[in-house]
């Protein structure tokens, strides 16, 4: 959900931090396992991905405020009447904003593969911890504060369940999320754990392709198997979006080939099926055709990024946009809908939505600047010392 990494590589959860611009000239193309690394491509900052991440977060936020099935029911606790009556035009577009989550998953597959290339499992673990947890911990405290101060829209969880949320493992224990958007983090964590196996063996074109194929087969078989553990691990609801991102990164690093296009095509076919399932189960105010169209356009944009067609896109504001995405995603939903409930009779509905989004973006910058960055530095120093001590103890033994 998000969904957003660290250092000189581009990372996101669901949404990660982008690849830093290299301070060296592009290297000539080199062969790796019979594949050619595209000259200089892996050293460039992908500004377009920063922009896509923020766009996806804004899509999700507008959807939650205006376009869900819940907010379009008479007498709902957020607006008190259907949003299709309050903002009919906005509602028609907002009804499809949920696809921002699927966009997050694809970007996450791309960026995690990029950020892990050449890293050790320890480095991967540290980068995930310092990227995901600081803003997440702050978001739990902030959201809980809103639920205490402004009751009546969302139910506040028991303290023991709130505390378990700090682990980010609550979904595995069957404990509700403090904020509904955290469900995407559970999908991200399962992806990280699976991909860690490949990272531990050393990432190569062949190994990542094999991982995509094996995971894809497991995701297709899991629902029919009736084996709950396989369903949990294979994550059939999100697997093909992450796989699409992995294939796109391989295109970016090694260039196009028929096998990668085949994996991406399979991901599109399986992805459109999952879109339909989600519409039937949850997103009942949007259509399958519209959802598939938006998803297809997004994949084409990602293909353009992977093939270098967006390399001329630049702008420091895009870097800032990418940095805001994760904290914005974490804090916008429960707090935002609670504020709508309290302020809906004081402002024009459209102005209220725009004001809330602008306010949460500003707050997200403060979280990034004064929470994420300093806490990440502290965590990194502590984890690095712990691993260094562990290595020293192993050497002594």
Is 21's pLDDT higher than 50? no
How far apart CA 184 and CA 377 sit, in angstroms, is 25
**C-alpha distances out from residue 238 to 57, 101, 114, 267, 348, Å:** 17, 10, 19, 10, 37
Nearest alpha carbon to residue 246 among 233, 256, 232, 260: 260
pLDDT digits (tens, 9 = 90+) for 143-163: 999 999 999 899 999 999 999
**Residue where the block lists tokens 């929470």:** 371
Domain spans of the chain? 30-191+240-252+272-392
Whole-angstrom distance, CA of residue 306 vs CA of residue 110: 9
Provide φ and ψ at 204, rounded to 5°: -140, 165
Average pLDDT, the chain: 90
At 43 the pLDDT is 52
Give mean pLDDT, residues 336-346. 96
Q: What confidence tier does 44 reach under pLDDT thresholds 50, 70, 90?
A: confident
Query: Phi-psi region for residue 255, left (φ > 0), alpha (ψ -120 to 50) or beta?
Result: left
pLDDT of residue 26: 40
Residue 125, pLDDT above cutoff 90 = yes
Confidence of residue 18 (pLDDT cuts 50, 70, 90): very low
Q: How does residue 388 score in pLDDT terms, banded at 50, 70 and 90?
A: confident
pLDDT of residue 263: 98
Please tell me which residue, 300 or 40, carries the higher pLDDT value.
300
Mean pLDDT, rounded, for 349-368: 98
Q: Are the C-beta atoms of 326 and 13 separated by less than 8 Å?
A: yes
Q: How confident is the model at residue 391 (pLDDT cuts 50, 70, 90)?
A: confident
pTM: 0.90
- Per the model's pLDDT, the better-predicted residue between 13 and 160 turns out to be 160
Compute the average pLDDT of residues 67-74: 96
Write the pLDDT tens digit of every residue in 247-263: 999 999 999 999 999 99
Q: Residue 35 has what pLDDT?
A: 66
pLDDT category at 272 given cuts 50, 70, 90 is very high
Give the distance, in angstroms, between the CA of residue 68 and the centroid of all CA atoms in the same chain: 20
pLDDT, tens digit (0-9, with 9 covering 90-100), for 180-216: 999 999 999 999 999 999 999 999 999 999 999 999 9
Q: Which residue has the higher pLDDT, 279 or 35?
A: 279
pLDDT confidence of residue 148: 95
């Amino acid at each position: 959900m998000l969904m957003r990494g660290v250092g000189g590589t581009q990372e996101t959860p669901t949404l990660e931090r982008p690849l830093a611009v290299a301070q060296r000239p592009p290297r000539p193309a080199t062969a790796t396992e019979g594949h050619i690394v595209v000259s200089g491509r892996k050293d460039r900052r992908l500004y377009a991905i920063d922009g896509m991440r923020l766009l996806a977060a804004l899509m999700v936020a507008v959807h939650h405020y205006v376009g869900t099935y819940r907010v379009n029911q008479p007498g709902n606790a957020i607006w008190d009447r259907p949003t299709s009556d309050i903002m009919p035009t906005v509602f028609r577009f907002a009804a499809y904003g949920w696809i921002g989550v699927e966009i997050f998953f694809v970007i996450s597959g791309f960026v995690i593969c990029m950020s892990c290339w050449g890293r050790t499992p320890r480095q991967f673990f540290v980068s995930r911890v310092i990227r995901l947890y600081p803003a997440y911990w702050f978001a739990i405290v902030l959201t809980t504060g809103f639920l205490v101060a402004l009751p009546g829209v969302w139910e506040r969880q028991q303290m023991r369940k709130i505390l378990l949320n700090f682990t980010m493992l609550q979904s595995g224990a069957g404990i509700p999320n403090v904020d509904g958007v955290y469900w995407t983090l559970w999908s991200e964590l399962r992806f990280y754990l699976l991909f860690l196996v490949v990272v531990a063996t050393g990432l190569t074109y062949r190994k990542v392709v094999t991982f995509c194929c094996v995971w894809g087969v497991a995701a297709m078989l899991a629902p029919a198997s009736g084996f709950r553990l396989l369903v949990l691990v294979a994550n059939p609801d999100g697997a093909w979006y992450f796989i699409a991102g992995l294939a796109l990164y391989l295109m970016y690093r090694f260039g196009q080939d028929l096998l990668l296009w085949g994996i991406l095509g399979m991901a599109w076919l399986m992805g459109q099926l999952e879109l339909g399932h989600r519409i039937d189960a949850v997103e009942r105010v949007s259509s399958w055709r519209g959802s598939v169209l938006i998803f297809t356009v997004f994949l084409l944009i990602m293909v353009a990024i992977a093939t270098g067609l967006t390399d001329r896109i630049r702008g420091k504001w895009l870097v800032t946009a990418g940095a805001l995405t994760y904290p914005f995603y974490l804090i916008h939903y429960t707090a935002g809908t609670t504020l709508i409930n309290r302020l809906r009779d004081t402002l024009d509905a459209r102005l209220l939505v725009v004001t809330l989004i602008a306010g949460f973006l500003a707050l997200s910058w403060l979280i990034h600047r004064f929470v994420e960055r300093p806490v990440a530095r502290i965590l990194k120093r502590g984890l690095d010392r712990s691993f260094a001590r562990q290595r020293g103890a192993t050497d002594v033994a």
